[in-house]
Amino acid sequence: MGPTPVVSVPPGGQNGAPPLSLISSGMSTGTPSPLVSSYAASATPPIPGAPALPTPFVFTAAEWPTQDHVPDTSSPEVQEWMHELDGFDIPTWSPTVDGTCAGDPAAAEESMLRGWWTCGGITRETDITACPRQYDWGVSFDDGPSKWSEKLLNYLTKENILATFFVVGSRVVERPGVLIEEYMAGHEVSVHTWSHRPLTSLTNEQVVAELGWTRRAIQAVLGITPTTMRPPYGDIDDRVRAISLAMGMVPIIWTSAPSSGPFDTNDWKVAGGMVDATTSFNTFEAILGNASTLPTGFIVLQHDLYEVTVDLAVGYTLNAALTHNPPFSLKPIGNCSDIPTTDLYAESNKNTTFPYTNHTIITSSDPNTTSSTATKKGKPNSVRDGKVSVGLTVGGLMLSATVCGLL
């Protein structure tokens, strides 16, 4: 047993956040913070080998898909991006009904074969799901940039914390200045789709459109193309994985542990009126306690889209993490995963093995039996990091899965 975790709940009002008991859905506690810094075109980013910032982005609606809608798949851009899948064996699983287990019980029964994270927490070797070193905390915020992100950025700067921001394309074109400030401050930037739909519920073409347009938006604003992504709701299966990897993006999901479930603060449930802030913080306390017992580090899910979620972060959860006993090291996910920052963007990446790509391998003595998979070196049927890695042969295909809490 490790040291007993100590978590103290602050009285409230720290860093501009209201008392915990007053944080609720729909409340307004202040005005958005203005941008602290602005950067001229040709400014040098903090990434060795990355290009200078491009000409300031100007949004022209006719040049982009409708915000917060699944993009049209008949556009020339999507048709061009579909060629990135050429030569890769994309699994033929049909889209799920709505990305949920209850909405598609037939797909849920096949979750192990599908590699479906939503139903069973199944991951693959190419998924990034935890920081390797114990007590390393992978800090991440989803769904921005928003009008409240600046408040979070000010706090992170004050506390000398770097994070990974999983950004939505529809928000990037809306608030390019916030994204530039995140990037230039040294935070990591990753793809989180254009309209935030469950990706397993979309067709191949729609998945390509969601990833491609977000990638293009980030590149237009920052001049760089992320080599990582996070599926909304964590909704990913082997079909979506293969598409993402074929497009040069490695999936990142938050940690799940057999004894505690997902490391999700449930801050989004407060914003949605499903739980109160005290319940959300209690969930976070449980995460802290469970994290201390893991043999590895971990990745936590938080959000910067709403004022409520930012108040929870700057006033409570991050403060509790910083004062925790034993202490945690708060880091962006690429950094805690020992991935050089240069590898996180296509323009600066000189690593020929990251991002991982689909590749055809021989899986039997019959040279005609092959499997197009995306795996790092690992042994099937082995226990790693307290989880069980399972090797399956299905229809001649060798699959490797990591199952949390099922076996």
Catalytic residues: 142, 303
| Tokens at 37, concatenated | 């810094």
Q: Are 202 and 95 in contact (CB under 8 A)?
A: yes
| Tokens at 368, concatenated | 């005609």
> Burial, 55: exposed, middle or buried (Cβ in 10 Å; 0-12, 13-18, 19+)?
exposed
CA distance 206 to 74: 10
CA distance 67 to 375: 34
Q: Are 139 and 300 in contact (CB under 8 A)?
A: yes
Q: Rounded to a whole number, what is the distance in angstroms from the first to the last CA of the chain?
A: 23
HEC per residue, 322-350: HCCECCCEEECHHHHCCCCHHHHECCCCC
Q: Are 154 and 16 in contact (CB under 8 A)?
A: no
CA distance 130 to 224: 25
Q: Are 388 and 122 in contact (CB under 8 A)?
A: no
